[in-house]
């Protein structure tokens, strides 16, 4: 069975649990998406759109899927099969939803146990207001009981869920069920026996072991009985040695003096339990691969349910694209709509996507505000949704998972010192090219800006021909129809242009290369045409307008 666990959600030897900042791609840790692409394609907004999770583990799992999508076609196929079973089997779906909903109510108790700092004094249910730490009053007894009960309940409830047919979902549930057979689960379930930093379960404890049973409560009956029995024994000894004190107020005063000592002893025992039992035990819990898999499995179930509920919210066509394993990238989708814009634009104009062996280079031309950028983001966002096993807003689709997705946009706001726009953007293109493969999806929003037209033509031509030979699926957005004519001579590329009606762009892309400038229409729309400039100058000079 494929190993579907790539990174633990529970991080060992850390003071804080994983959060989304730890999962975002960075320059030293990215797989399919690099940080610039993650930002350019609005991946975080896409996550927020499909996020219907209930648990923190599910939210982290879903965010990790978006930030680090899998490129293994077989795993994506298995996730899809699990999602289809959830959609078709209402009995299983209801059981899973009840399981996740109940886990969500108590999930934080495990985090409090694993990462809490217990500062003594009276116990509190909620952490302090400090942002950097989870601080609690008390010695961790309450968090220990609640955290271990959450895990025990998780395993017991998982055993009640009907066994799924899909291998992915069955394997995920088995990770929780099998954890119930582990030694660590026996420690969590208790009782725990301790001796000098070592722990034994009930199964491991023998009658000859000098291990004492850990009671996760500050008040302990045996020490209390022994203390008061000893105090009473001391009183009897004093009365026996000094008969004159027998029954006097002095004897009761001596007994009363021992009472304030008892809380001090209890607090000392609390410190000892925290430092020698609770902290060492929770270190074992935090470092457990089996527990990490069980919690991650909860997140995987929640992620699948989130996909299902996202699909239920879509009022447009939806589908699970066919996932195919090939040596080069492909993406074919009919009637595709942008996953983000469909919620803002109810009459969003759909377009087809065709990136295959016959058309790996797709060049899109046309004036601004015609839908070129929206189309490119639609391509990448649909690729990402399909690649994580989620529904896509389209009638039908087929894709090969990409091992790299790159999206280059003009970024003059982040120019390096001593580097102009041309050098900065060319450096980004170089980075993309040298890391791309036939299994890559690349979007280039303009090329070689910031230089002369002749240099732009030369550089853009050899870059596009390079991507063509490399075999990556490459989309170029350009206003340069002369570049298109050069590439067409060598029969390179497929060409789409923005369709225009008399009232303006239809946001539909049609075959062909746009050679018509709509600059004056755009300038007039924003009130900055030649006529607007001349009228302004006449007003400034006090001349009557023509």
Higher pLDDT, 233 or 111: 111
The reply to whether CATH 3.40.50.1100 applies to domain 318-515 is no
- CA–CA dist 14, 30 (Å, integer): 21
The reply to whether CATH 1.10.1740.10 applies to domain 20-193+285-311 is no
Q: In the numeric block, which tokens belong to residue 338?
A: 């942008």
Residue 179 has pLDDT above 50, yes or no: yes
Mean pLDDT in residue range 338-344: 92
Locus of tokens 């389209």 = 394
pLDDT at site 2: 35
pLDDT at site 133: 75
pLDDT at site 451: 63
Residue 5 has pLDDT above 50, yes or no: no
Q: Please state whether the predicted TM-score (pTM) of the whole model is above 0.95.
A: no
Mean pLDDT in residue range 143-172: 96
As annotated, the residues of the chain forming the CATH 3.40.50.300 domain(s) are 318-515
* Strand extents, DSSP E, 325-447: 331-336, 351-355, 361-365, 396-399, 404-408, 440-445
Helices 43-50 & 372-387 angle (0-180, nearest 10):
60
Q: pLDDT band at residue 456, thresholds of 50, 70 and 90?
A: confident
Give per-residue pLDDT as tens, 203-224. Answer: 998 877 888 889 888 766 556 5
CA 367 centroid distance within chain: 36
Helices 43-50 & 289-313 angle (0-180, nearest 10):
80
Give per-residue pLDDT as tens, 59-109. Answer: 999 999 999 998 999 999 999 999 999 999 999 999 999 999 999 999 999
pLDDT at site 417: 46
pLDDT at site 270: 79
β-pair partners for 474: 361, 442
pLDDT at site 30: 79
β-pair partners for 494: 362
Instruction: Name which of 337, 529, 447, 437 is nearest 32 in CA terms.
Output: 437
Q: pLDDT band at residue 450, thresholds of 50, 70 and 90?
A: low
Sheet holding 192-195, edge to edge: 198-200, 192-195, 212-214
Give per-residue pLDDT as tens, 31-40. Answer: 899 999 999 9
Residue 542 has pLDDT above 90, yes or no: no
As annotated, the residues of the chain forming the CATH 1.10.1420.10 domain(s) are 20-193+285-311
Q: For a pLDDT cut of 90, what percent of the chain falls above it? A: 56
Mean pLDDT in residue range 390-412: 92
Mean pLDDT in residue range 404-422: 71
Residue 8 has pLDDT above 50, yes or no: no
Mean pLDDT in residue range 361-384: 91
Give per-residue pLDDT as tens, 292-323. Answer: 999 999 999 999 999 999 999 999 999 999 99
Pairing of strands 361-365, 494-501: parallel
């Amino acid at each position: 069975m494929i190993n579907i666990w790539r990174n633990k959600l529970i991080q060992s030897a850390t003071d804080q649990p994983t959060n989304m900042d730890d999962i975002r791609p960075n320059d030293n840790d990215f797989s399919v998406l690099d940080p610039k692409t993650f930002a350019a394609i609005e991946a975080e907004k896409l996550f927020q759109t499909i996020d219907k999770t209930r648990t923190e583990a599910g939210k982290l799992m879903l965010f990790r899927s978006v930030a680090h999508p899998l490129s293994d076609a077989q795993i994506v196929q298995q996730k899809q099969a699990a999602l289809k079973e959830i959609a078709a089997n209402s009995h299983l779906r209801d059981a899973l939803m009840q399981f996740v909903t109940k886990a969500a109510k108590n999930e934080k108790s495990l985090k409090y146990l694993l990462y809490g700092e217990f500062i003594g004094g009276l116990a509190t249910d909620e952490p302090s207001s400090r942002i950097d730490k989870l601080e609690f009053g008390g010695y961790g007894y309450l968090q220990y009981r609640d955290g271990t009960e959450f895990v025990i309940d998780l395993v017991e409830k998982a055993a009640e869920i009907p066994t799924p047919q899909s291998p992915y979902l069955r394997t995920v549930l088995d990770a929780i069920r099998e954890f119930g057979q582990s030694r660590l689960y026996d420690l969590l379930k208790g009782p725990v026996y301790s001796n000098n930093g070592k722990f034994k379960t009930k199964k491991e404890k023998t009658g000859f072991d000098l291990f004492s049973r850990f009671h996760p409560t500050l008040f302990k009956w045996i020490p209390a009985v022994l203390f008061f029995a000893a105090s009473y024994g001391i009183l009897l000894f004093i009365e026996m040695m000094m008969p004159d004190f027998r029954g006097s107020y002095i004897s009761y005063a001596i007994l009363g003096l021992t009472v304030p000592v008892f809380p001090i002893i209890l607090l000392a025992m609390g410190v000892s339990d925290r430092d020698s039992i609770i902290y060492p035990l929770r270190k074992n819990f935090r470092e457990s691969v089996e527990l990490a898999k069980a919690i991650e499995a909860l997140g995987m179930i929640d992620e699948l349910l989130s996909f299902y509920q996202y699909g239920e919210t879509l009022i447009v066509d939806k589908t699970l694209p066919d996932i195919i394993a090939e040596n080069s990238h492909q993406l074919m989708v009919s009637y595709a709509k942008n996953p983000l814009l469909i919620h803002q634009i109810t009459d969003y104009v759909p377009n087809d996507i065709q990136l295959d062996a016959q058309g790996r280079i797709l060049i899109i031309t046309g004036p601004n505000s015609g839908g070129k950028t929206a189309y490119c983001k639609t391509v990448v966002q649909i690729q990402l949704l399909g690649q994580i096993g989620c529904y896509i807003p389209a009638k039908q689709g087929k894709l090969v998972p990409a091992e790299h997705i790159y999206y280059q946009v003009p970024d003059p706001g982040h120019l390096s010192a001593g580097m102009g726009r041309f050098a900065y953007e060319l450096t980004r293109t170089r980075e993309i090219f040298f890391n791309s493969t036939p299994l890559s999806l690349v979007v280039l929003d303009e090329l070689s800006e910031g230089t002369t037209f002749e240099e732009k033509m030369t550089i853009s031509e050899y870059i596009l021909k390079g991507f063509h030979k490399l075999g990556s699926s490459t989309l170029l957005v350009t206003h340069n129809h002369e570049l298109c004519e050069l590439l067409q001579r060598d029969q390179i590329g497929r060409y789409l242009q923005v369709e225009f009606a008399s009232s303006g762009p239809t946001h539909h892309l049609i075959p062909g290369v746009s050679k018509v400038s709509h600059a004056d229409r755009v300038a007039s729309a924003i009130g900055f045409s030649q006529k607007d400039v001349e009228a302004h100058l006449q007003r400034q000079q006090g001349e009557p307008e023509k």
